[in-house]
Amino acid sequence: MGPLEGFKIIEIAGIGPGQFAGMLLADMGASVVRIERPAQGDAIFAADARFNLMNRSRPLIGVDLKTQQGVQLVLDLCEDADAIFEGFRPGVMERLGLGPDICMARNPKLVYGRMTGWGQHGPLAETIGHDANFIALSGVYAGIGEKGGSPVYPLNLVGDMGGGGAYLVIGMLSAMLEASKSGKGQVVDSAMVDGAASQMSSIWGFRAAGAWKDERGSNMLDGGAPFYTAYRTKDDRYIAVAPIENRFYRNLLNVLGLDDIDPASQHDQSQWDTVRQQLQTVFGARTRDEWCEILEDTETCCTPILDMSEVTSHPHIEARKTFVSIDGITQPAPAPRFSRTASEIGSAAGPVQSNLYQVLKEWGASANVLGNLSKENLQ
């Protein structure tokens, strides 16, 4: 099932962004086989592989890429595949004998995805790093946080998942689409520093227009505006307030009874601190849930800020089935959604599978590849 049904992809296992990309592709119906090195895995999930949710929807097989047998198997699979992707530092796959030139020589239409933090070239290409480092150098990290405060780390979403995994998927799908017309594959160089910077395109536009300050917490979209921020309620919870459009801002002031604030001066930054204090005083007088009841259907762009323990029971989240339960483990459902070729979770995350022959047969390996599997792999 899914819009990518029939596409065969090889995932050279890693953690984080590449793993996320594999989940997205597999959820959308691609036949993905995830190849892990012996005893690789993720120590966090060593006790129960079911919790390693980004491994879902595809089988895991153990292949030693430091042996000629393991390398040969991957090269053989490349002949049948539409794409392969990896997340090592530049040069690692070449040293293993699985670089783009060698793999694409086996299959000229093969798309070769490369997922790194710094990219395949540049002064830092060989340097180690993690999400925080990549978004720091791209300008994202410095822009998040309260005015006068330290930068605030936004989970590993902007670099790893957004700028990394999601951009890798976009690149690979684009290259696969082009290969279906040209008959030629290509290398997709997905770098988290590039993807994180790309997500800042609108902010760079604001800055060029003189509508953005480098100081954190001083702009409309970084929490600086009193009409686009969070307010603490009486019960120490929070309400997200976001009426950017003036008509919605007017509605909010009316509901809150703040007649002394002129809605026409919404974007007058000299008044922002005073307005924020007034709104905080009002929101602090009631609990979060009381405010939710008051603000319901008022067109004020206000919502409760939910903890993870609350998200799945919210009526809207429940109605859209945004979360599903697989083997008793709650997890996000596949996204985005398709009207005709619905995505679905093909299988729960699980341990490395030993029956290599069966896994590769189901993946779609050719009879020639299956016939070349050595007896020790037929467990």
Cα→Cα distances 35→83, 109, 357, Å: 14, 21, 13
Q: Catalytic site residues?
A: 130, 160
**Pick from 99, 83, 113: which is nearest to 191 by CA?**
113
Tell the residue number behind the tokens 């509508």, with chain if given.
211
Amino acid in the structure at residue 156: N
- Mark 5-14 as b/e (b = at least 16 C-beta within 10 Å): eebbbbbbbb
Residue 229's contacts (CB-CB under 8 Å, 6 or more residues apart) are: 223, 241, 276
Asked whether 285 and 311 are in contact (CB, 8 A), the reply is: no
Q: DSSP readout, 252-270?
A: HHHHHT-TTS-GGGTT-GG
Q: What angle do CA 110, 112, 114 make, to 5 degrees?
A: 175
Asked whether 301 and 247 are in contact (CB, 8 A), the reply is: no
